[in-house]
Structure 1
Amino acid sequence: MNTKRLFDAVAHQLENFPKNDMLAAKENGKWKTYSTQQVADTVNKLSAGLVSLGVKANDFTPESSDKIAIISNNRPEWVFTDLAVQQVGGILVPVYPTTNPNELAFILNDAAVKFIFVSSEDLLLKVQSIIDKVPSIQGIYTFDSIAGAKHWTEVTALATDELLAQVDTIKKQVPAEQLATIIYTSGTTGTPKGVMLSHSNIYTNVQFSKKSFPFNDAPESKVLSFLPLNHIFEKTCTYIYLYSGISIYYAESLETIGDNLKEIKPNGFTTVPRLLEKVFEKIMAKGSELTGTKRKLFFWAVDLAEKYDNRVSGGAWYNLQLAIANKLIFSKWREALGGNISFIITGGAACQVKLLRIFNAAGVPVYEGYGPTENSPVICVNRQEKGGTKFGTVGPPIEGIQVKLAEDGEIMVTGPCVMKGYYKRPDLTAETMKDEWLLTGDIGVWDEGKFLKITDRKKELFKTSGGKYVAPQPIENKLKESPFVEQVMVVGSERKFVGALIVPSFATLKEWMREKGIPYTTNEDVIHHPKVLELYRELVESFNKFFNHVEQIKKFELLPREWTVDTGEMTPKLSLKRKVVNEKFKDAIERIYA
């Protein structure tokens, strides 16, 4: 493959399909679009400004190239900065806005960051609170206009014709093997580790994904972007869009996704299962508000969709009923998503099969994919082509890479997308890479010989005190199929039996209590109500039959509030931090085993 650099996407788009809306975001309540030419000009000026500030790559090695950090929500300026840093051979270090100050100081020091771009006042204050501990930082620039702070346009204002000519020369010299980014992922030891990804790593993943999915060159298409851009999944997808001529519109926030979908009517988006679950909960809550025939029709349609199988025809009668359900009920769901969705790609954690069935039956095509940061990231994705998708699997491997399973079932991958290693951590690199194969830490099996099914995280498998291994994820995903369960974490490492911490879906529970004539007071009171405890005991029992004796949940504790990113139990990509939950709720866990 003729490997390009990621920033070549701009020239590629200018040459093949220049657009009026390469990027777009809401500014002062209105959508503001940036054309391909505007993006090219802005990025070149920003690169020139960085050169003026002394940002350079020296000999294009990870150690000698200057690092620029970014802490921001998704917005066009994020991409401008990313491209501008790349063009001068610098390395972007993206940091989650929710990163705590200690971890932030560690990352900035570990990478010896020279300049940092932040989006908002609260993030500026966060950086200022630890700036004394990071001697390498020479300046902070903001995307929002903030009194007393340096605005990012002060960097573009430094551009001169001479500097722009210099940028042109540097761009030609940046090798495809140069690091494009160092992405810090939370380490099991508590210290984040920096994944080194080159232009070549991400570019090949972009092209293999484009071929496999396929993302056709589609200059009339657009997507909505809301997954954090500092996560490699959204970043790689960004370059897929840029190289395909697909316009990127940035959601204002997670709360406004629904409104933004209706406004821009995108052709697709990427997401994580937790957000799909939230969308489905909202749909079901609306359905529960209906009465009479409308309510009956709604739940009839959902029941029908739960039986959907994309690989086996349900027969003429089923297909006729589904067509009616689509016309009467599901057409409204599609309208709520803007009416144009041809793909939703979900990754980052296992998606409930029930949700995949329902959404796909409703004409909302959801495709599950998989891959770690260390592989830039995509390893597998379910396909749009006939026979290319199997619910409950992450699809076949993408073209251009090799995947195999170790003796213990661990998924291993090799190919041009595999990282250069962990920054300054040859010890960790040696643990994760064996003879050019990346050990993912995920356990999987082949389904029908070509679809990869992930059964668990290697480090999440635990042993009961009886010496039996238990994989928590399949049990948790099954339980989350119940409308009464918002979140769940299975426990039982070195214990006599398997237990669970359950966060009820309080909206559903409230409705159930109203129907039963039980007064609803506070969440804290409700989770101790004998009738509620009886409901959840019956619920857990009904799910236990899907698992063998060792995996069955014998006791559980209900918790009064949802786990979130803000309260620290979820990662920014909405995966569960098991260690944190174990620590925070150790009293509840002790009660299970008392």
Structure 2
Amino acid sequence: MHQSDLPPPATTPLQGGLADSLLETAHRTPHLPQIARRLDASSPVWVPVTAVELWDEVSDLARGLVVSGLRPGDRVAIMARTRYEWTVLCHALWSVGAEVVPIYPTSSHDQVGWILKDAHCVAVVVEDEQGAMTVGSACAELPFLRHVWQLDTGALSHLADRGQAIPATTVDSLRRIVLPDSTAVIAYTSGTTAHPRGCALTHRNVASLCDTLLAGWRQTTAPPGEQPAILAFLPFSHVYGLLVQGICLRGGVLMGHEPDLRVEALSAAFRSFRPTFLFAVPFVFEKIYKNFLRTAQQTGRGALFERAVRTAQDFAAAEERHRLGAGPGPGFDLRLQHSLYEKTVYKKLRATLGGRVCGAVSGGSPLNRELALFYAGIGIFVHDGYGLTETSGGITAQPVGRGKIGTVGQPLPGTEVHVADDGEIFVWGPSVFQGYINDVQANQETFHNGWLATGDIGRLDSEGYLTITGRKKDIIITSGGKSVAPAALEERLRAHPLVHHAVVVGDNRPCVGALITLDPEFVAHWRASRAKGDTPVRDAREENELREEVRRAVGAANSTVSRSESIRVFRVLPELFDLSNGLLTPSMKLRRDEITRRFAAEIEAMYQGSSRVPREYATSEPSLWEDSDNVFR
């Protein structure tokens, strides 16, 4: 067991609900820019919304919700991308004591129907006509549903206009009866296996985590004297996105919204909004790095970029050793090289993110150590953290000035972490949820003497730094009895620029295998750089070279594990793992059961074919494939 030795947060305990912080800020600093918004999605101009303007809009909408018959304890689903109206709406709901039920906007008919029915939602707010149609197709089984409001038809403005009929004191009266332990959010788990489960998070759960992070880490989010600015692009339908929103609004941080996660849109938003800090998931950091690499190669500076990357990683590793008391820090030559690349490379890389980013947080899954070293080396230290929907989004973080890259940090102040004999992580703390709604059995299985069983496996070192090694339910056991945690192998595979995603398989199989998808943008760039010669000859050569590149990526991943844990067979799939096809969760996690079900034929062919092809093609590491290792004989 380990409890953080960091000082407790110096924050005022929550007295009411989350909406109170908006009102308090509006009274204390009415002209503070609280949100920056674009009146047009394609505009580079961000218009500030002050704290008092935001509160007035929230209050007007809350009055409209009351006129529509909404009452304390009612549950309202929000099914929209990350946009300004999301923030206004959920705080208006909290102002009248309602509970927010986030739903990812691309959820299927079955997923939407299940959540609305399980949560007994009385209303749902959708973004567009497609969302309205999805909800409409499930309405026959939703006896509690009374309202479907659509953002793109001006529903919030209509509600606010209707609310003028009642006095603002009505909302004040409802807001005052919201207690810290009232339920604020019913956040549904990603549903990587069966139906998602609704996690009841209180106002105190969410606020305590936000306040702890603000107390200990706010000074890292902007240069001294500047108001921190954070671009919110993570889905508010996931608890991580809601955490970002809470940190901004409770901490006086300027927040912008970016609903479009395409690379072009996100890059444009970075340049125009100019955030000082990033909150993202590993996939985003990987994508940004690949874009850096692709741009460098397209301009003929690929070799320079790769040297700059190695220097950044070496510099950050040397600084880390010094920080942790294990080394003298970067030497003179390394500092000189780093200074040169700072002027010629690193400064330009930061400029593509707006030029002001001084730090970041990665969550959702562990960040690759080499990638984290790269970002630290170019001046953006990524605080890798760990949390669950059930913990309101956070339970550990890198301590300021003592970050240990490759871990997810130490337990947050006021929380405790315990690793059981089988490696499962148990947690306790103020951000741990009330329990799952409508699921007594799941609550009994999840809580053990007050401790939350996370289902994740990991280890604590002597200083209390936690390392995540995977999910307990994802452990693969081969037919030979070898237990393999797939996460580390998948992480290493994704480190290759050509690899988009990878799923390691092998349950009850003679060896470990992998399903791999390739990054279409990087593959196009890779092909363009080799477009020489006659088409038939060129195409054949490219396919052979591409196959060898993937083989090298598999070999690099295998170099980090024992031979019995290594990937012996793999197959490149033509279909990407994406949100739209249901193979990724809203938090960008793999839906393993769905992937293995959909590609069952490919998996079967992969293993059957490996026993028929020549030995050098049956393994990603021909030089390590000895006769005694041939499990297919």
Answer whether TM exceeds 0.5 for this pair.
Answer: yes
**Letter of the 2:598 counterpart:** K
* Counterpart position of 1:485: 499
- Separation of aligned partners in 1, 2:540 and 2:207: 52
> Structure 1 residue 2 and structure 2 residue 13: aligned?
yes
The root-mean-square deviation of aligned C-alpha atoms, in Å, is: 2.4
Find out whether 1:394 has 2:408 as its counterpart: yes
1 CA distance for matches of 2:53 and 2:521?
47
Question: Does structure 2 retain, via aligned residues, the 8 Å contact 1:25–1:249?
Answer: yes
Amino acid at match of 2:295: K
Equivalent residue for 1:348? 364
- Check if 1:140 corresponds to 2:144: no
Post-superposition CA distance 1:441-474 (Å, at most 9, x none): 1111113422111011111111111111100001
The aligned residue for residue 431 of structure 1 is 445
Which residue number corresponds to residue 273 of structure 1?
Answer: 282
CA offsets per residue over residues 20-75 of structure 1, 9 Å max, x none? Answer: 53123222335343221111111112222222222112xxxxxxx21111111112
Query: 1:83 and 2:91 equivalent?
Result: yes
The range that moved more, 563-572 or 13-22, is: 13-22
| Distance of 2:343 and 2:542 partners within structure 1 | 43
Cα displacement (A) at 1:160: 3.9
CA distance in 2 between counterparts of 1:462 and 1:337 reads 39
Change in Cα spacing, 1:534 to 1:31, as seen in structure 2 (3 Å) is closer
Structure 1 equivalent of residue 228 of structure 2: 221
For residues 319-374 of structure 1, give each alpha carbon's deviation from its aligned partner in whole angstroms, at most 9, with x where no partner exists.
11011111111110111111111221110012111111111101122221110010
Once the two structures are TM-superposed, the CA of residue 298 in structure 1 deviates from its matched residue by: 2.4
Find the counterpart in structure 2 of residue 536 from structure 1.
Answer: 550
What is the distance in 1 between the residues matched to 2:68 and 2:519?
52
User: Aligned AA for 2:244?
Assistant: C
Q: Distance in 1 between matches of 2:597 and 2:34?
A: 45
Going from structure 1 to structure 2, the CA distance change for 1:521 and 1:485 (only over 3 Å counts) comes to farther
Residue 262 of structure 1: which of 261, 271, 274 is its match? Answer: 271
Look up the equivalent residue of 2:397 and give its one-letter code. V
Q: Residue 276 of structure 1: CA displacement?
A: 1.2
Q: Aligned pair in 2 of structure 1 residues 536, 239: CA closer, same or farther (>3 Å)? A: closer
Figure out how many residues of one structure are paired with residues of the other and give that number: 578
Shift of 1:269: 2.2
Tell me, yes or no, if the aligned pair for 1:17 and 1:245 is still in contact at 8 Å. no
> Which letter does structure 1 place at the counterpart of 2:440?
P
Using the alignment, how far apart are the partners of 2:601 and 2:245 within structure 1?
43
The answer for the alignment partner of 1:325 in structure 2 is 341
Aligned to 2:116: 108
Give the match for residue 292 of structure 2.
283
Please report how far the alpha carbon of residue 531 of structure 1 lies from its aligned counterpart in structure 2 after TM superposition. Answer: 4.6
TM-score by length of 2: 0.87
Offset at 1:480? 2.1
Q: Which blocks of at least 5 consecutive residues in structure 2 are unaligned?
A: 1-11, 322-328, 609-633
Q: Does the Cα contact within 8 Å between 1:216 and 1:244 map onto a contact in 2? A: no
Note closer, same or farther for the CA distance 1:571–1:186 as it changes in structure 2 (3 Å cut). closer
Secondary structure, in 3 states, of the residue corresponding to 1:370?
A: coil
Query: Structure 1's 93 and 261: CA in aligned 2 closer, same or farther, altered over 3 A?
Result: same
Q: Secondary structure at the match of 1:144?
A: helix
Aligned to 1:378: 394
Query: Which of 216, 239, 243 is residue 236 of structure 1 equivalent to?
Result: 243
Task: Find the counterpart in structure 1 of residue 466 from structure 2.
Answer: 452
Q: Per the alignment, in what secondary structure is the counterpart of residue 56 of structure 1?
A: coil
Pair 1:67–1:506, CA change in 2 (3 A): closer
The aligned amino acid for 2:361 is I
Q: For 2:565, which of 536, 539, 551 is the aligned residue? A: 551
TM (norm. structure 1) is: 0.92
Q: Is it true that 1:298 corresponds to 2:305 in the alignment? A: yes
Verify: 1:122 aligned to 2:130, yes or no.
yes
1:24 paired with 2:30, answer no
Q: Which has the higher contact order (CA 8 A, sep 6+)?
A: 2
Q: Does 1:591 align with 2:591?
A: no
Distance 1:403-1:521 versus aligned 2 partners, 3 A rule? farther
CA distance in 2, matches of 1:103, 1:522: 48
Q: Secondary structure at the match of 2:71?
A: coil
Call closer, same or farther: CA 1:587–1:328 in 2, change over 3 Å: same
CA distance in 2, matches of 1:508, 1:70: 35
Amino acid at match of 1:544: N
Q: Which residue identity is paired with 2:518?
A: P
Shift of 1:508: 4.8
